Chain A
Amino acid sequence: MATHTGISHLYVVTRYRGKSTSQWQNETAQFGIRMGVTFGDTVPAYSAGDWTMPGGSVVDASFTESNTTERREFGFSNDGATDAYSLAFQGAVINLFLSAVTSLRNDMAASYQFDQLRLYAVKGDGTSPTEPTIVTPLDTTYNPTTSPNSTLAPQNAAVVSFNTALRTRKGRGRIYLGPLKVTANSETTGLLASGTRETAVSTFVTLFEGLRNISSSAGVAVGVPIVWHKPGDRGAVINAVRIDDQLDVQRRREGQRTPVWEETALV
Chain B
Amino acid sequence: MPEALPPFLECVRVVWVYRGAPTSAWQSEEVQFGLSVAPYARAEVPPTTAGTVILDRRWIKPSALRFDHAAYRVLYGWERWDDSDVAQAGVESQLALLVAARDLAIGIRSRLGTGYRLARIELRPQNERLTTDTPATTLTPLDTEGDPTGLGLQIPQAAYLVRSRTLRRGSHGRGLTYVGPPSSGRPGNDALITSTDRSWILGAFRQFSLTARTPQNVLQTSAWCPIVWQKGSRLGAVIRSYAMPDQVGVQRSRAQQRTPLVTELAI
Residues of A within 8 A of B158 (CB): 153, 156
CB <8 Å contact, A187 and B210: no
Residues of B within 8 A of A247 (CB): 155, 157
- A119 to chain B minimum Cβ distance, whole angstroms, is 22
CB <8 Å contact, A262 and B265: no
A231 at the interface (CB under 8 A from B): no
Q: Mark A232-267, 1 if CB is under 8 A from B, else 0.
A: 000000111111111101010000010111111111
Question: Which among B57-65, B98-106, B130-138, B186-194 touches the partner chain?
Answer: B186-194
Residues of B within 8 A of A238 (CB): 267
Question: Which among B36-44, B75-83, B197-205 touches the partner chain?
Answer: B197-205
Residues of B within 8 A of A249 (CB): 157, 250, 252
Q: How many residues of B contact A (CB 8 A)?
A: 58
CB <8 Å contact, B267 and A46: yes
Q: How many residues of A contact B (CB 8 A)?
A: 52
Question: Which among B3-11, B215-223, B235-243 touches the partner chain?
Answer: B235-243
Interchain CA distance A70-B221 in the complex, whole Å: 76
Residues of A within 8 A of B184 (CB): 182, 185, 187, 190
Interchain CA distance A251-B252 in the complex, whole Å: 11
Interchain CA distance A23-B154 in the complex, whole Å: 20
CB-based closest 5 A-B pairs: A187-B152, A259-B245, A244-B260, A187-B184, A190-B153
**Cβ contacts A to B, 30 pairs, < 8 Å:** A24-B190, A111-B191, A152-B191, A155-B250, A187-B184, A188-B115, A188-B152, A188-B153, A189-B115, A197-B263, A198-B263, A239-B267, A240-B265, A242-B262, A243-B264, A247-B157, A257-B247, A259-B247, A262-B199, A262-B202, A262-B244, A262-B246, A264-B203, A264-B241, A264-B243, A265-B241, A266-B209, A266-B213, A266-B240, A266-B241
